[in-house]
Amino acid sequence: MSLALYLIVGSCGICIAVIAYVLFAGYFKDRGDVRTYSDPLPLALRLLWPVVLAVVPKVAPRLKPSLLERTHRQLQSAGLEFIMRPEEFHALRMVSGACGMAMLLSVMIMLDKIAFGPMSLALLVGGGCGYFYPNLWLKEQREKRRRSVIKDLPIYLDFITLSVEAGLNVTGAIEQAGLKGPPGALSSEFGRLQRELRAGLPRSDALKRMGERMGIPQVSGLVGALIQADRVGASLGDALRAQADQRRQERFQRAEKLGLEAPVKMMLPLVMFFFPQVFIVLAYFIYSKMKQEGVL
């Protein structure tokens, strides 16, 4: 492909980007309250967000309520419910699919593969990869949040247990744990729990809502133990201490499991990348020695 064609394709892409930016910037110029009450977007999403908001009115009427509810639960468990709405997430999938098609089409043009077959394949593969990438990103965010919560949960349980044994009620103990505990997903969830309690929501309902939002078995177990102990009048200190010991034991067992799995996971990279290099180096020295001695 000639340099002129590269320049033409690049110029067209820049012109389209500038025109889209001007149009969408004018469209959303007076909508300063769009994200006033939302969490800040990541940088990559911030660049695409005007386009996503423009696609939402086209996509939202075609989405089923059950799909929106399932997406809302997934965003909740990933801690992203204040970043985007379910309708915006599905609009993001459409925009991401279009970006994937555009990127792969640009690559095919640069490689001078302009036939119908390669271009159709590029559209199919690029669109599919771009369309499903937000799902993979959401799953990764959920897993990252789950690991953070499981890591911090024993620490928060110790803080809550010590506060309860020192004479505070559960609400005050949770507040102290939120103040003293490490920052992260669990800290923000306890802060939200405190706000719901201050708003007058019963403690059992607030705890249930926290467990449903997070969707993590360890947190659901803690919520169930607290509600049960509160309902039957059992000692909260004993229930919390048992939960803390169980979570800490699970943490050690998980670390032991990962340690035992490490040699198995290292085997494939060693066989594919390390051992062949060693054999090549040894074979070279053996070949040189045999050639010097006249064997070869």
Q: How far is CA 254 from the centre of its chain?
A: 21
* Range in 47-51, 74-78, 231-235, 273-277 the model is least confident about: 231-235
φ and ψ at residue 257, rounded to 5 degrees: -65, -45
Count CB neighbours of 200 within 10 A. 7
Taking CA atoms, 22 is separated from 18, 27, 50, 51, 170, in Å, by: 6, 9, 11, 11, 53
- Of residues 2 and 272, more confidence is placed in 272
Burial of 92 (0-12, 13-18, 19+ CB in 10 A): buried
* Segment 55-64, tens digit of pLDDT: 888 888 888 8
Q: Under 8 Å CB-to-CB from 168, ≥6 apart: which residues?
A: 176
What average pLDDT score do residues 145-174 get?
82
Query: What is the rounded distance in angstroms from the CA atom of residue 127 to the CA atom of residue 110?
Result: 18
Mean pLDDT of 192-198: 85
- Give the number of other CB atoms < 10 A from CB of residue 93: 20
pLDDT surpasses 50 at 66:
yes
Distance of CA 113 to the CA centre of its chain: 36
In this structure, are residues 156 and 181 in contact, taking their beta carbons and an 8 Å threshold? Answer: yes
CA pseudo-torsion sign 184, 189, 194, 195: positive
Between CA 49 and CA 71 the distance in angstroms is 18
**Average per-residue pLDDT for the chain:** 78
pLDDT confidence tier of residue 136, bands split at 50, 70 and 90:
very high
* pLDDT of amino acid 194: 84
Tokens of 187: 């800290």
Instruction: Identify the pLDDT of residue 12.
Output: 56
Counts of helices then strands in the chain (DSSP H, E): 11, 0
Tell me the three state secondary structure of residue 234: coil
Q: How confident is the model at residue 151 (pLDDT cuts 50, 70, 90)?
A: confident
At residue 21, does pLDDT exceed 60? no
For 272, list phi and psi in degrees, rounded to 5: -85, -35
Q: What is the pLDDT of residue 36?
A: 53
Domains of the chain: which residue ranges?
3-25+43-147, 148-251
Q: Percent of the chain scored above 90 by pLDDT?
A: 2
- pLDDT recorded at residue 8: 52
User: 3-state SS of 25-61?
Assistant: HHHCCCCCCCCCCCCCCCHHHHHHHHHHHHHHHHHHH
* Residue 124 scores a pLDDT above 70: yes
DSSP symbol at 182: P
Q: Which of 136-140, 205-209, 236-240, 280-284 is least confident?
A: 236-240
Whether 22 shows a pLDDT value over 50: the answer reads no
Task: Give alpha helix (H) positions in 60-85.
Answer: 65-77
pLDDT tens digits, one per residue of 82-121: 888 899 899 999 888 888 888 887 777 777 766 677 777 7
- Mean pLDDT of the 66-73 span: 89
Q: Quick check: pTM over 0.75?
A: no
pLDDT at 34 over 60: no
